Structure 1
Amino acid sequence: MASRIDTQHQEMASKETMTLRVILTEADIRKVKLTSKPGSVEELISCLQNTLRLDYNFTLQFQDPEFDNELCNLTVLSELPQKPTVKIIPVIELVPLSSGEMETSSDMLSDTPSTADTVLTSELPQEKRMPWPDIFLTPKFSVDVEFRLRQANLIYLKDGTHLKVTKELKHDILQKLAETIYSCKAYPTTEDLRAVAKALVNTHPCLQEPGSPSGYCGWTNSLKDKMGNYRSKMRSLGHTDVMVNAGKRGRYSTSSDPPNKNIKKPRKGEVNYLPDLPDGQDASSLEMLRQQLVDEMKRKNPDAVFINQKMDMTLSLRRKDVVINKPPVSQILQRWPALFRESQVYQEFSRVVGKNLKQEFYGSLDRHCPQLIQIFRSKRGLAGQILSDLLQQAKTSDIADMRCVAMRGLPVLLGDDQTEFFKACFASDDGDSYQHVPVGILSLENEDVALQPLSLRLHPSSVGIILEGNVVMDNLDNIPQAMCLLFGLTYALHLDYPKCMGNTFLFIQQVLLGLGKKELKGKILAVTNQLTM
């Protein structure tokens, strides 16, 4: 009974909104309202980073009423008053200079004023890729190229004369397009390249190809060849995301894999799939930072800000671990224990994908819940009976219940076999019931509860996440939270979706989060069409 009350209190707390006065600069002070109250300082920083679209690291100070509203460092969220004022303190990250560079810049540094509001560190996070845009915008070319295209466009609009593209001009255009494409994707799809070519001829109609059905088929083919050459150039410069595939595409493969097999590239919407090492860092220095993280996690109260900063810095080392080396989950847990904290699952998803997983997952789920419930009620047969049993446990006015029903009902609607994914056991059991489960969610029940064959209880006593037969996260509040975190872990650990729940995970990826391929197939398309009716 006590655990049930605690769970209700936690759910009520998660629904609380939070209003803050945020000082960015002395001339930029904003009112920010968060839809849910963060559970930690680290989570608050993440929420502000996404809400205010800040692309740099920072810490927080707050006006403390106990000291006449003087600023103090924020270390525990409970220190904040009811309507707090917080100040953004940017973390300025410096790159170590060689002795020659230090001598050259010493005069400039001596004239640079210092500020007490700046935190200095010796690291620089690696450059991040941008997500692929919904609508590709043609970049600006060099002044010379822009002038020639502008003149040619005027002639085309006047009498329909197409520009005769010289070899030099075509090279300059393709080079700039390749740079822009690579800033988003190292391995664009044919559909991506078509979108770029179409945007090019729409922006500069003089470049349309007479006789081509679309007017840009030749540009698409040229972009495909150019991207291959550009990747070779980036590989020679040491970029990890293309170096990892060296020898796999050519006729004389250097590995045991056949050419074009097992190419390591983003397949689920990742924007930082295999980032390069940060400037001023190497594998040895990052390994030292990793060990510092392990040591910090052994403390009774780990420093959340320290962990987040070092996890940011070591992303390239961690991605190499999980993507290239592919160790067992148990080994990743030993090497990167912070990765299995709830806040760091969300942060890692943001690092790899560039999206706020928690906000987008729950926001999209809440938008679709009413229509999903209507679809559940309309189903007949065995699926309809299972969904009806779920609905009977729910309180229609309770959003937490609706989320649980949606997460448990989606696999039924999409034809997935959730019996090998959702597992249930008593708290006193030794784990035999799930030791062979590769990926799953575990519901822990009290001894006085009769376990159902499909574990269809909406409110288990506790929820955990199973990976490779071991519980890697436990004491979670509910099934939607576990599903959200498990989805984040599939990206953080570079895991395949469980085959028995493939449609459900693809639905979360493509429909709820809008990641990866736009084309929907089979039952996912059918359910999506029902949601839009």
Structure 2
Amino acid sequence: MVSQMAEQENITIRVIVSEGDIRKMTTKRPDTLDDLIGWLKGTLKANYSFTLQYQDPEFNNELCNLTNLSELPEKPTIKIIPMIELVPISADTESYGDTSSQTDTEILSSSSLDRSFQWPEVFDVPKFSVDVEYRLRQGNLLYLRDGTCLKVTKELKHNILEKLAETMYAFKAYPEKEDFEAVAKALVQTHPCLKESGSSSGWNGWKNSLKFKMGNYRTKMRQIGRVDVTVNGGKRGRYTANADSSHKGIKKPRKGELNFLPEYPEGKDDHNLEEARQVLVNEMMKTKPNGSLVKKEMDLTFALRRKEVVQNKPALSQMLHRWPALFTESQVCITAECLKKMYVSL
């Protein structure tokens, strides 16, 4: 009789933590949904918020949101659904102040900025999705305990490489060999469970996988029209056998160079920017050009100017004809200041 009462007080649950982590768990029957979530958080050592779904027998065991424990069948299967909490950030009003207080050393408005950071001296491995972070944390604990490396599934590897490629692309569209090595090394140092037993370094395979993933990521960016990679499109391929080799004449930033090929300002296209360029030409024909207007339009047309320089490699005389304001004393000083900052940071 006592054992039967004990069985009634306990509940056995099949818990889907992630695709590769499904557990059978038994606990005292909770009184509320919050009690069940609290017990799961403590048992699984989950430091993130989540909701629960359960397989509903009335709908051929399709998943439904769990809102009340009375909805659960006798031996339920529940799935943990991580929640991403967004924290509002107040805008820094000072950064949107009166432009008249800004110095002549400014080159770009925020709308023209593309890559604002150089490759870091020490690469920080980004945070992955909640599911990936949980699996890596469990793998690291196991590695620290007995040196067992994590068995990396195809899905897990894809998610890790995709996030790393996205992070690398924010710094460089075309990373160098040492960049790939730095990222692979940092990944294994941060998550030792990812070490490769058959590699002398422990990360050489990750480096090679990153190279392929980065190529695939550039293709994805090219398909959505990112200028810094579309400029290198049209290379030799299946249907362009007579074109240049895919490794020949790659247009990419020099070391320390930012905004090599930035995207156009939001809402602007070739037609809009060409009109702005013509405004500049007309203004420069005046005896006393409006300095504020020239600076504003030069800022606005920066992306168009970079596109012309990188893609067409125009002669100096042609640049003088199309961009006369570029050779004024104020613009030369701005360029010189930019170069000074770039070389100081190297």
Deviation string 1:232-291 (CA, Å, 9 cap, x unpaired) is 111110111111111325365476434422121223432221222222111000000111
**CA shift for structure 1 position 349:** 6.7
- Which amino acid in structure 2 is aligned with residue 194 of structure 1? E
Give the number of equivalent residue pairs: 252
- The aligned residue for residue 285 of structure 1 is 272
Amino acid at match of 2:176: T
- Match of residue 195 from structure 1: 182
Deviations 1:84-141 (A, max 9, x none): xxxxxxx998xxxxxxxxxxxxxxxxxxxxxxxxxxxxxx435334211111111111
Matched to 2:339, the amino acid is L
Instruction: Give the match for residue 160 of structure 1.
Output: 147
Task: Give the alignment's Cα RMSD to 1 decimal.
Answer: 2.9
Contact 1:153/1:206 (8 A) holds in 2: yes
Q: Identify unmatched segments of 5+ residues in structure 1.
A: 1-24, 29-53, 62-73, 77-90, 94-123, 351-355, 362-511, 516-533
Q: State the match for 2:203 in structure 1.
A: 216
Map 1:242-321 → 2, pairs under 5 A:
242-248=229-235, 250=237, 252-253=239-240, 256-321=243-308
Alpha-carbon spacing, 1:357–1:126, altered in 2? closer, same or farther (3 Å): closer
SS in 2 for 1:318: helix
SS in 2 for 1:60: helix
In structure 2, do the counterparts of structure 1 residues 156 and 256 end up closer, same or farther at CA, with 3 Å as the change threshold? closer
Residue in 1 aligned with 2:99?
59
Contact persistence 2:235–2:243 (CA under 8 A)? no
* Other-structure match for 1:207: 194
- How many angstroms apart in 2 are the aligned matches of 1:194 and 1:154? 25
Q: List aligned pairs for 1:404-419, cutoff 5 A.
A: none
Contact preservation (8 Å) 1:249, 1:260: no
Identity fraction in percent: 57
Matched, 1:357 2:330: no
Take 1:273 and 1:250, find their aligned partners in 2: how far apart are those partners?
Answer: 25
- Note the C-alpha offset of 1:309: 2.5
Counterpart-to-counterpart distance in 2, 1:144 and 1:180: 18
Tell whether the 8 Å contact from 1:132 to 1:185 is kept in structure 2 after alignment.
yes
Q: Structure 2 CA distance, aligned partners of 1:273 and 1:127?
A: 9
Once residues 239 and 167 of structure 2 are traced to their aligned partners in structure 1, the CA distance between those partners, rounded to angstroms, is: 30
1:184 to partner: Cα distance: 0.9
Structure 2 length as normaliser, TM-score? 0.65
User: Match for 1:216: what amino acid?
Assistant: W
The match for 1:322 is: 309
Q: Match of 1:185?
A: 172
List gaps (5 residues or longer) in structure 2.
1-91
Task: Name the aligned partner's letter for residue 131 of structure 1.
Answer: Q
Aligned pair in 2 of structure 1 residues 165, 252: CA closer, same or farther (>3 Å)?
same
Per mean C-alpha deviation after superposition, the further-off stretch among 258-267 and 189-198 is 258-267
TM-score norm. by structure 1 comes to 0.43
Q: How far apart are 1:335 and its partner, in Å?
A: 0.9
Shift of 1:200: 0.8
| CA distance, structure 2, for counterparts of residue 292 and residue 254 of structure 1 | 43
Q: Which amino acid aligns with 2:175?
A: P
Is the 8 Å Cα contact of residues 184 and 206 (structure 2) preserved in structure 1? Answer: yes
Q: Report the CA distance between 1:304 and its aligned residue.
A: 3.0
Structure 2 residue 129 is matched with structure 1 residue 142 = yes
SS of the residue corresponding to residue 144 of structure 1 reads helix
Structure 1 stretch displaced more, 204-213 or 307-316: 307-316
Q: Helix, strand or coil for the counterpart of 2:271?
A: helix
CA distance in 2, matches of 1:187, 1:336: 29
Q: Deviations over 1:156-214 (max 9, x none)?
A: 11111111111111111111111111111111111111111111111111111112111
Which is bigger in relative contact order (C-alpha 8 A, separation at least 6)? 2
Amino acid at match of 1:314: T
**Separation in 2 of the partners of 1:329 and 1:57?**
37
Instruction: Tell me which residue corresponds to 2:22.
Output: none
Tell me which amino acid in the other structure corresponds to 1:127.
D
Residue pairs, 1:332-343, within 5 angstroms? 332-343=319-330
Q: Which moved more, 1:157-166 or 1:333-342?
A: 333-342
